[in-house]
Structure 1
Amino acid sequence: MSSPKIGWVGMGRMGYPMAERLVDAGYDVYVWNRTRSKAEPLAAKGATLVDSPRDLAEVDILGTMVSTGQDVEQVYFGENGVLSGDKTPKIFLDCSSIADHQSAAIRARLAERGAELIASPVSGNGKCVKAGKLSAVASGPRGAFEKVRPVIAAMAANGVSYVGEGELARFCKIAHNVFLGVVTQNLAEITILAEKAGIPRSAFLDFMNNSVMGSIFTRYKTNAFVNLDWTTTFTPGLLRKDLDLGLSSARDLGVPMPVTAATREALQAHFGAATLKDDPDAYLQKDFAALLETVALAAGIELESENSPYPTGLELPQAAE
């Protein structure tokens, strides 16, 4: 597939910058989004906007980055969905985080139309995409993967890992997001422990970032923890969904995951703490790093911003003068 025509659905915090990288890489990209205005800036860069998913039926590769398995099904099979007519893209590339059983059912339905599915969930947030730090994992037919590998690599510049057939990439993503939840909860706990002992959050987290326990993730979350910046990259609700997926898979496969179960219950406390806010629903749409406030509440600490900007490691390079 020399120069594939790519269809794309999903203009959220992740979907927009991913599609933008495809446009910047020179691909011919056709975009549908439920809220058309969110996709219009991409049209100004060269993408073509269409009126419904059905209008994407003649692309070579159909990419999706949406919230749930039900959303994927609706885009593919719903009224005016991609497959609501007679045409069928050869390869479907789904980057969403959905359950393995949902993915398997979708794969079977696509096979009936002669199409192949590559599951390729990603690791990172919108800023990671822009900074070239996004990574991806993929599973599905090896031949189809090789055809879409350059497309995935254009979005996930930090690397693409092929893990095998079927839904194995879904398990990788579930495991990844379980780890995300456990690390964030524990990082919040030890940060509050250090603060209650008298250590500024910025000093403690700088030490952690420079230690063997530091990571890309702890570094780019440090600014949020230090300055109480809850600009949304990933919501507590989505994290709860992924922890539930992990625990469900663990039950199915007979794997004990007590740390994950404890993290799930700690996360639930955040939903209770949100009721103390003036607008609980709006608060729960803020970033999941706000878990720090729930841990602080339980420790009897009222947090204040340290007003100390900390480099995230995701800063875009400055253009040469």
Structure 2
Amino acid sequence: MRFSFLGLGNMGAPLARNILLAGGDLTVFTRREDCARAFAAEGAVVATDRKELAACDVLCTCLPLPEHVRDAVLGASGADGLYAAMAPGAVHLEFSTIDPATAKTLMQAAAARGIAYVQATVGKTPQMALRREEPLFVGGDREAVHRLLPLLEQIGRPHDVGSVDAACAVKLLSNMIGMANLAVLAEGLRIGAAAGIGSHALLPLLQDTGARSFQMDVRGPWIATDDFSPRFSVDLAAKDLRLGCAMARSWNCDPELTERAFAAFGRAQEAGLGGEDACAVFKAGR
């Protein structure tokens, strides 16, 4: 199969390389010359125009925001995006963290042109993608999902969750829960400091209690050592919390606690911390 890939960032680049390792015929587009040279050296065709990506069997996208994906495949008018140039029978394989409403809009627009839509939302980190261990939450066109599963099993760890709603929701729920937990952890560490217990001393004590969590194990030490270099930024955390809260409200669920966490990350953005790691929410506490 001929694959095209748009979005060679921290997550997209290792996924695209995994397609090459799996033997896929890959065309990529990037404006970064160093990235283009690296992929050309590894055997990919580097397109000079994004429109060239439409000549494929499977278009892959891994972009930061829902609107980036929508603009790429639909364009400003719905007639000047990649869908308009793709052949009927092609597949759009979408890896980005987007909301269910956007995914359903894309699926409907793709179906109108005879294109199958598959959402394969990435679950964890670029490091796991490099090791081909990235969880992929997969949903969408049934025939296309079954056709792509052998490839997905070579580039990550796919979980077929059925629908595009579910494929988007699992990742958003993961970040809603994880980032809310991080906001509470940051608050707890600030309260601990007020009690005279520094983070270095408090974290080992908490890790032997019911307070222990993934965020405590991973980001707790970063907070304690003032390490706020971006792995997953405040801006990205806030984006996912915004999408998750909107998703919940669209299904008549009240994301009361998540919205409080969202407000905490909003304060971190207002404090100019958007580009730092999500654990910088610690620095924006009241």
Partner AA of 1:269 in structure 2: R
**Contact 1:14/1:126 (<8 A) preserved:** yes
Partner of 2:127: 127
Matches of 1:171 and 1:63 in 2, distance apart? Answer: 20
Per-residue CA deviation, residues 134-171 of structure 1 (Å, 9 max, x unaligned), is 21211112221121123333332xx3221113432112
1:241 aligned counterpart, secondary structure: helix
Question: What is the CA distance between 1:114 and its match in structure 2?
Answer: 0.9
Conserved 8 A contact 2:98-2:168: yes
User: Are 2:25 and 1:28 aligned?
Assistant: yes
Equivalent residue, structure 1, for 2:140: 140
The number of residue pairs the alignment matches comes to 283
* Separation of aligned partners in 2, 1:152 and 1:211: 38
1:65 maps to which residue? 62
Report the equivalent of 1:238. Answer: 236
> Tell me, which stretches of 5 or more residues in structure 1 are unaligned?
275-282, 299-321
- Aligned-pair identity in percent equals 23
Q: What is the aligned partner in structure 1 of residue 41 from structure 2?
A: 44
Checking the alignment, whether the CA contact within 8 Å between 1:52 and 1:81 is kept in structure 2 is no
Partner of 2:282: 292
Residues 259 and 130 (structure 1 numbering): CA distance in 2 closer, same or farther, change over 3 Å? same
CA contact (8 A) 1:61 1:89 kept: no
SS at structure 2 position matched to 1:121: strand
Could you say which residue in structure 2 is the equivalent of 1:277? none
Distance change >3 Å, CA 202–CA 60, structure 1 → 2: farther
Question: Once the 2 structures are TM-superposed, how far is the Cα of residue 211 of structure 1 from its aligned partner?
Answer: 5.9
What RMSD over aligned residues (CA atoms) do the two structures have, in Å? Answer: 2.5
Give the residue type in structure 2 aligned to 1:284: G
Q: Distance in 1 between matches of 2:215 and 2:158?
A: 18
Cα deviation, residue 115, structure 1: 1.0
Does the Cα contact within 8 Å between 1:137 and 1:172 map onto a contact in 2?
A: yes
Instruction: Give, in whole Å, the separation in 1 of the partners of 2:163 and 2:128.
Output: 27
Distance in 1 (alpha carbons) for counterparts of 2:155 and 2:207: 26
Native 8 Å contact 2:18 2:132 kept in 1? no
Of 195-204 and 221-230, deviating more is: 195-204
SS in 1 for 2:271: helix
Query: Aligned pair in 2 of structure 1 residues 57, 187: CA closer, same or farther (>3 Å)?
Result: same
Gaps of 5+ in 2: none
Q: Aligned-pair distance for 1:209?
A: 5.2
User: What residue number does 2:51 align with?
Assistant: 54
What's the counterpart of residue 108 of structure 2? 108
Q: Which is further off, 97-106 or 231-240?
A: 231-240
Report how far residue 269 of structure 1 moved: 1.7
Matched residue, 2:184 = 186
Match of 1:175 among 173, 176, 179: 173
Moved more, 238-247 or 79-88: 79-88
Decide whether aligned partners of structure 1 residues 129 and 206 sit closer, same or farther in structure 2, where only a CA change above 3 A counts: farther
| Contact persistence 1:54–1:83 (CA under 8 A) | no
CA distance in 2, matches of 1:7, 1:287: 31
TM-score, structure 2 as length reference: 0.87
CA distance in structure 1 between the aligned counterparts of 2:88 and 2:212, rounded to whole angstroms: 45
The letter of the residue matching 1:232 is P
How far, CA to CA, are the matches of 1:154 and 1:208 in structure 2? 39
Aligned residue for 1:308? none
The answer to whether the Cα contact below 8 Å between 1:126 and 1:233 also exists between their aligned partners in 2 is: no
